Amino acid sequence: MEYCVKKAAAGDPRELFVELSDLDRLCVGAEGWSADSFESEAAKDNGIVLYITENDRISALICGYSAVGEGDITSVAVHPDFRRRGLALRLISEFEAMLPDDAEDIFLEVRESNSAAVSLYEKCGFKAISIRKNFYESPVENAIVMKKSITCEV
């Protein structure tokens, strides 16, 4: 099926941010972001909010930002009906392509028990670098901090 990758921006309809929040919360529960959070992240100069639509329905999203010399992924969510079709891989690749030229690394945190996401990130080239004890709430759980180096060796 044809799909389309889009970047959310300031001024997009409120309904878009509500849909992104609904998808995030469907996928990760209460810790998913609110519509306000998606809207304010999309409005920031360094914010990157990308989503995939198929037949006018949002099937996947990625959210993050760039900081000095790095990118940070804060959320990746794919609707259960659309999983294992490479959508998360595609969004991570698009996120990487949007980072400024001086970005050297991408960082993210993932729940220790989230083996699907850990496999996804490993497939994208991320490596575990440390553990943040009790980083998550409800349920309390450690986070694995993962990093991908994106500097080209010349």
Least Cβ distance, residue 119 to ligand COA (angstroms):
3
- Indicate which residue of 54, 70, 109, 141 is catalytic: 109
Show the site string, 21-60: x = touches ligand COA by CB under 6 A, - = not. Answer: ------xx--------------------------------
Binding positions for ligand COA, 109-128, rule CB under 6 A? 110, 114, 116-117, 119-120, 123
Active site residue 51: no
Spatial distance between the Cα atoms of 89 and 38, rounded to a whole number of angstroms: 21
Active site residue 109: yes
Q: Which residues are catalytic?
A: 109, 121
Chain contacts with ligand COA (rule: CB under 6 A): 27-28, 76-78, 83-89, 110, 114, 116-117, 119-120, 123
